[in-house]
Structure 1
């Protein structure tokens, strides 16, 4: 059985990408397929390296019964392009930076919202600016469910 290695990527790796990492991991556990995934998250900037998640992300994950422990922010590394099966960006700027680093590989590198076109969003808005962690959680949850389906891990 294939194990999928997935890296979620945003700008600072304290709001959107850690939320996606932990939500996806939680959904995989609920579906009984946690043993088939390896998840992580990173930022395209190193602004918050070593820091914990934003308090808004921590609070939202806890509200949803998701344990947010064990996190430390990090920056995308050159080795990530070959280490992960999928590098999933939160917005166009993150996608452009990943493509600059690793080349255009639409089967491997894409935006989370590409998986949920019915959402009406072309990116996951950054709650650092919007303050809307509920909106981020909703999109990340929908995108995570779609990713599980894409990988054939849920019906």
Structure 2
């Protein structure tokens, strides 16, 4: 089982969007028994809360469920549990590495570095642009799924 953890600041916009999109792609590829995904925050601000209404609405447009998803904070145990710990932006990456005490682990990387964009995923909590975030998250998830499928061969 390959486990993937998406991480952002609050775990209500970007990382739960990535979790939901990735789950949808995994289900469509019939890989549920091989890949598991979750999401977390570097902060504790929204622990226990569902995804942001904008995230829920955008995912609903594409028929992607957020049922049962609740915000949680990154934990030390995550470094052992997950094969990939993926931050949505450079600030997230710095915080993840500090929180987990693992400054050089290759399992920790910025999400869009898997794509041609090599940039941060903008936070729609501040930009209000959930469509741009969705488009980038979908592209990142597709690239990650290609990478993981190569490992599964």
- Whether TM-score is above 0.5 comes out as yes
1:30 is matched with 28
Q: Secondary structure at the match of 2:95?
A: helix
1:40 is matched with 38
- TM-score, structure 1 as length reference: 0.93
* Structure 1 segment 1-155 matched on structure 2, within 5 A: 3-102=1-100, 103-116=102-115, 118-119=116-117, 121-152=118-149
The one-character-per-residue Cα deviations of 1:48-77 (angstroms, maximum 9, x if unpaired) are 010111000000111100111001101001
How far off is 1:47 after superposition? 0.2
Q: Secondary structure at the match of 1:34?
A: coil
Cα distance in 2, alignment partners of residues 72 and 8 from structure 1: 13
Cα distance in 2, alignment partners of residues 132 and 84 from structure 1: 29
Structure 2: gaps (5+ residues): none
CA RMSD, Structure 1 to Structure 2 (Å) = 1.5
Count of aligned positions: 151
- TM-score, structure 2 as length reference: 0.94
Structure 1 runs (4+) deviating above 3 angstroms are: none
Cα distance in 2, alignment partners of residues 30 and 111 from structure 1: 25
The one-character-per-residue Cα deviations of 1:85-131 (angstroms, maximum 9, x if unpaired) are 11000000100011112313452000111101x23x51100000000
